[in-house]
Chains A and B, each alone.
Chain A
């Protein structure tokens, strides 16, 4: 046990140190910390809002304790899904596993420590969402001693059940299917499965709640809604009753968590031993083709290498694929979410098909085409993705300019794949003309260029090269947040521009104004990029 705690502490410290390092120094650090605190407060605010709304509407039905139930359910689901992919990475794709295996500790200690790390993150997350719900419920519905005790227990134990279910699933999946397939393919399949399950659940819930008698059925009995959820996730019922002051359910809840803990510890041991080790050796099986000696230009070789790094690293590949298909996914989710949303989609598309919308079509085309670049801050990790391998490029006879150009091109290729099919979708759904498409593309080109260059400048200024797991490079990366932040500002700016000038000018003028704005931003991006080349040249690899 002390081993587990020690290892967990080391991993958390490591994580924390890296987080601090990545924040930079001096004034910049202060700014980022302020931004982070602001972000946390936004979440707390959101969760207070949500709990409040839930309490009011559920209170009218006399089911105010369901405020907590629903929040608890949501957060449990979120933790389970997030943990599923996080644990796969922590268990199987963490680079320091090999080193840890050489230490005189049991394998299951490594696994338990990894779960503990994920527990700490999950605990912080669930507290942000559950604490406001609990406070709102207690302050209005009254507080008992057992209820208070239950509240504390539920905060501490809430992440456990979903976390342990996720880790059992991970070990099961990886030890059965995981070994027969290439691990890169495996990781991508698993991630998509997770997404499919999330969407499936959403579709199911949306469909069922859309039919009116489902809700009346739920509300027929006093505990209907509760049992509906509870049937699928028993701890929820016990946790809810525990909050309302039932001592029996408190005992049940704690007992259940203990049982899960013990059984996982027992079950994981034999399974984990096989998987941890075999996955560390898995890649020796990969045989590539025989000798080949084709030559490429320098920039071609660099672009190929950058694309290989994306393609051969599961976490990066996932990122790229998501950005490529996300626009389709969003449409898909909405279309599948039952008759109501199909209707609303038809309404939207019908209204876009109306003649008076015709002048706006170029802007709509532009908005759709920009979406992959808007959500994908892919070049904000263009250098970070190299990690510890950057020395190779740094000591090779390649100028900073050529190197960065190759990185830009490879990001453009990936974003380009995400964009290229969208015009066909548009033509299929809307009465767009060739001119509309041309205008859309004309506006999109400088915008994409601006996004690529400005993002890469962010990465040049703060690359993270010391990551041990690729997930660190792309998930817990502030560069991506900064990339998203400036996009939001840009979106806001465009919104203001359209709002202010559209009543006074024709749409043709508006198009020119937007085009001009985008070209200006692209020029700014270009200049910034030129300036950053010098900075990149001076980047040190310590």
Chain B
């Protein structure tokens, strides 16, 4: 579903932020992209979503090259960034309708899905208000609801659990699982290790722009010790 081939990013020819990443996320997987701050997670995700151009290497979403056929590729994924910078003078409904228009979601589906996601998140009642009055967590929930509006094949999230309360975090994890159960794929980044244990099918650990370990949580565990130790060890030794 998502394939990265020798993906490299060199900011302004000075800062090698991502250094030849190869990975292959299969359909139906929840894939965790784990690494400490500054490891290159956001940079990688920005290249996947077309916000940055790779210095070299390729990105395929559902076998569509993001660089050559951007619109086709972008139809296949939805993205929630780590910051909540959206145009916030409009109402929540306006925002969701805009997404619905852009992704060509029919009116009936739109109504059904908006209720499906925003009611459990507890923001449905606030959708008539200007987004600028939302808290950070509410904005993030709105963006997640918007991203899921088009039932994307691939759901990409950058540090999605930052800023969510435990209840909402649990809800988001359930949403990720449901998304995969329904045939979708999830790719998300995190700098916190504990979230991946009973959530991810596979994880990749990235440090200084390189993948230093990849596999199921059990695989990596089998290499010895708790995941935490491995994580610390992996990130310290390199």
Contacts and interface: CB of A to CB of B under 8 A. Distances in A.
Given A288-B130, A398-B71, A538 B53 contact: yes
B101 A399 contact: no
A283 B133 contact: yes
A288 B103 contact: no
A290 B108 CA distance: 16
Interface of A: 184, 283-298, 300-302, 304-305, 308-309, 312-313, 386, 388-389, 391-392, 394-399, 537-538, 540-542
Interface in B66-85: 70-72, 74-75, 79, 81, 85
B94 interface: yes
A287 B107 CA distance: 23
7 contacts: A286-B132, A286-B133, A288-B90, A291-B114, A301-B97, A399-B70, A540-B53
B74 A395 contact: yes
Contacts of B75: 397
A283 B130 contact: yes
B74 A397 contact: yes
B129 A391 contact: no
Contacts, number: 116
B46 to A, nearest CB: 7
B86 A392 contact: yes
A288 B102 contact: no
Given A287-B129, A291-B127, A542 B104 contact: no
Interface string B87-98: 101110110011
Given A283-B133, A286-B129, A286-B130, A542 B11 contact: yes
B98 A289 contact: no
A220 B49 CA distance: 76
Contacts of A394: 49-51
Nearest to A295: B107
B52 A308 contact: no
Contacts of B49: 394-395
B101 A292 contact: no
Given A388-B85, A391-B51, A288 B101 contact: no
B91 A288 contact: yes
Contact of B100 (A284, A287, A295): A295
A386 B87 CA distance: 8
Contact of B90 (A287, A308, A398, A538): A308
Given A288-B94, A309-B87, A540-B53, A301 B101 contact: yes
A378 to B, nearest CB: 18
Given A397-B71, A397-B74, A389 B85 contact: yes
B106 interface: yes
B128 interface: yes
A289 B87 contact: no
A289 B91 CA distance: 9
4 interchain residue pairs of minimum CB distance: A301-B101, A284-B133, A312-B89, A288-B91
Given A283-B133, A397-B102, A540-B51, A294 B74 contact: no
Nearest to B43: A542
A397 B86 contact: no
A482 B110 CA distance: 44
B111 interface: yes
Given A284-B132, A391-B85, 18 more contacts: A283-B133, A286-B129, A286-B132, A288-B94, A288-B129, A289-B91, A290-B128, A291-B127, A292-B93, A293-B114, A295-B97, A296-B97, A298-B101, A301-B102, A394-B49, A395-B79, A399-B71, A537-B70
A288 B97 contact: no
A292 B97 CA distance: 8
